[in-house]
DNA sequence: GTCTATAGGGTGATAGAC
DNA sequence: GTCTATCACCCTATAGAC
């Protein structure tokens, strides 16, 4: 069980890290927001880097558990030819929901903005988080897609999975851009709506002919 | 004409900003790499923020010029029903080429890693760069896609354009991830190869039925 | 477990000599 | 245009009192 202080630090840290990025967020800013002392971070986590890792681990672990549970369902329903739409949904929905669910009402932070740090911040800081939390999950999904699309060349499958991840990542963190380019037409404030737009696009891309 | 010092600062800055991010890159690191004095940045650019803006402007201006020139060609060839593949190519190729073209042989920096900062770093720092350099170009392309896909609902078109940008951005900056997940199968070291994989995927996504 | 105090160093920016 | 020197501030981490 986490101490209350530890939880308060994690809560404050994930909001600030998501908003401002990893290196732009100071331990001072975190401790002030969490109403704890500066030394508390080092006592509870050891260092800023270890705190960052803990922030990612807390959010990613349950997301990936849910992803794999949903994937198992999809594979069990059609073991020989699992449904592409189901695989994509299992990959996207759990993380999209965290991206559209504010952590608390005072600060409706997009967790997508936190996730994007895994892909963009200087490698060594988040590499451990990425490898521990994401790599094995990604391989499970590529393997499922391979079963669903047996005729697709392996190399093409890797590329297309990569494109799917790109769509997902961009959808999670670049909502302001979508809002701006669409002149305010598109608000997009729930995961199901985003998913409904995304799934047909991704499935069509995955199943398209390689060159036409 | 730029002074030699100014150019050296821009060259050094773009490499470091791309590698380490905006706030993690100090003016001291830049001036050391450029072999100029610390005060030179403030003399030539005024501030760190103004330097960052100059770095983006120098690279994005020619890219967007080329994009719009290519788009004009595509629109002129088929004014009433321009080819989707051509529009996508005009949007993607110019920036992909800069992403795969090292700025100099000493440090083969991916310019894609620099571009991604436009999407991920704290908004106010790059907002001006984004608005000045990207927003109008994006609108021209959305409008062209609208002409090419007249039956597509406006809202759906915005979403799908957004997904296309996501694929492109991810392809430009996340090459290491593609390399890792594919177990080293995919090297991907030139723009044409990436484009060949991307265009069928995006076109299929853009033209897919909205719900199936 | 939580605090204060501080070490030791990096940061952007600027004044002023040359 | 380019330098040195310096200001005022922020940073992470830790020692040691309570």
Q: What is the mean pLDDT of residues A24-46?
A: 97
Domain-located, residue A201: yes
**pLDDT given for residue B157 in this prediction:** 97
- Distance from B44 to chain A by nearest Cα, in Å? 25
Q: Which residue has the higher pLDDT, B112 or B81?
A: B81
In chain A, pLDDT over 90 holds for what percent of residues? 68
**pLDDT given for residue B179 in this prediction:** 84
Q: Which residue has the higher pLDDT, B121 or A73?
A: A73
Is A127:B135 a contact under the CB 8 Å cutoff?
Answer: no
Examine the pLDDT at B107 and tell me if it is beyond 80.
no
- Output the pTM of the full model: 0.93
Examine the pLDDT at B108 and tell me if it is beyond 70.
no
B88 pLDDT band (50/70/90 cuts)? very high
Examine the pLDDT at A76 and tell me if it is beyond 90.
yes
Domain-located, residue B8: no
Domain-located, residue A84: yes
Of the candidates A121, A169, A181, the beta carbon closest to that of B158 is on A181
Q: How far apart are CA B67 and CA B57, in angstroms?
A: 15
**pLDDT given for residue A129 in this prediction:** 83
Contacts of B135 in chain A (CB under 8 A): 180-181
In chain A, pLDDT over 70 holds for what percent of residues? 94
Protein CA B146 to sugar C1' D13 (Å): 56
Protein CA A61 to sugar C1' D13 (Å): 29
**pLDDT given for residue A173 in this prediction:** 84
Taking an 8 Å cut-off on Cβ atoms, the answer to whether B186 and A155 are in contact is yes
Mean pLDDT, rounded, of chain A: 90
Chain segment A126-180, per-residue pLDDT in tens: 788 888 888 889 999 999 999 999 999 999 999 999 999 999 999 988 887 888 8
CB of B193 within 8 Å of a chain A CB? The answer is no
Chain segment B22-81, per-residue pLDDT in tens: 999 999 999 999 999 999 999 999 999 999 999 999 999 999 999 999 999 999 999 999
Domain-located, residue A23: no
Examine the pLDDT at B212 and tell me if it is beyond 60.
no
Taking an 8 Å cut-off on Cβ atoms, the answer to whether B20 and A122 are in contact is yes
Strand C–CB A35 distance below 7 A: no
Domain-located, residue A188: yes
A103 pLDDT band (50/70/90 cuts)? low
Nucleotide nearest to A42 (CA to C1'): D13
Domain-located, residue B158: yes
Domain-located, residue A97: yes
Domain-located, residue A44: no
Reading the block at residue B96, the tokens are 């992909």
The DSSP string of A100-132 is HS-SSSS----HHHHHTHHHHS-HHHHHHHHII
In chain B, pLDDT over 70 holds for what percent of residues? 94
**pLDDT given for residue A8 in this prediction:** 95
CB of B167 within 8 Å of a chain A CB? The answer is yes
CB of A209 within 8 Å of a chain B CB? The answer is yes
Which residue segment(s) compose the domain that B156 sits in?
60-207
**pLDDT given for residue B61 in this prediction:** 93
In chain B, pLDDT over 90 holds for what percent of residues? 68
CATH assignment of the domain containing A193: 1.10.357.10
Examine the pLDDT at B207 and tell me if it is beyond 80.
yes
Write out the H or E segment, with its range, that includes residue A83: none
The residues, ordered by sequence, that sit 6+ positions from B127 with a Cβ below 8 Å of its Cβ are none
A102 pLDDT band (50/70/90 cuts)? low
Backbone angles phi, psi at A36, to 5 degrees: -130, 170
CB of B52 within 8 Å of a chain A CB? The answer is no
The burial of B148, by beta-carbon neighbours within 10 Å (0-12 exposed, 13-18 middle, 19 or more buried), is given as: buried
Strand C–CB A137 distance below 7 A: no
The burial of A179, by beta-carbon neighbours within 10 Å (0-12 exposed, 13-18 middle, 19 or more buried), is given as: middle
Q: How far apart are CA B69 and CA B86, in angstroms?
A: 12
Nearest alpha carbon to residue B162 among A160, A168, A96, A117: A168
Contacts of A165 in chain B (CB under 8 A): 170, 174, 177
Is B166:B120 a contact under the CB 8 Å cutoff?
Answer: no
**pLDDT given for residue B161 in this prediction:** 97
Report how many domains make up chain B. Answer: 1
Which of B13-27, B154-168, B176-190 bottoms out in mean pLDDT, i.e. has the lowest?
B176-190
């Amino acid at each position: 069980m986490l101490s209350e202080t530890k939880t308060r630090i994690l809560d404050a840290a994930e909001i600030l890290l998501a908003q401002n990025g990893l290196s732009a967020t100071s331990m001072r800013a975190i401790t002030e927001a969490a109403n704890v002392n500066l030394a508390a971070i080092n006592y509870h986590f050891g260092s800023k880097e270890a705190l960052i890792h803990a922030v990612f681990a807390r959010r990613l672990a349950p997301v990936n558990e849910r992803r794999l549970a949903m994937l198992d369902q999809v594979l069990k329903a059609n073991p020989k030819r699992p449904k592409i739409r189901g695989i994509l949904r299992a990959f996207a929905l759990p993380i999209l929901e965290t991206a559209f669910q504010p952590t608390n009402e005072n600060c409706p932070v997009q967790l997508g903005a936190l996730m994007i740090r895994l892909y963009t911040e200087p490698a060594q800081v988040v590499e451990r988080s990425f490898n521990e939390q994401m790599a094995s999950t990604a391989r499970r999904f590529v393997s499922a897609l391979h079963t669903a699309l047996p005729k697709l060349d392996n190399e093409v499958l890797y590329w297309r999975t990569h494109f799917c991840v790109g769509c997902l990542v961009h959808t999670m963190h670049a909502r302001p851009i979508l809002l701006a380019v669409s002149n305010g037409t598109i608000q997009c404030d729930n995961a199901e709506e985003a998913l409904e737009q995304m799934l047909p696009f991704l499935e069509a891309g995955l199943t398209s002919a390689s060159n036409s």
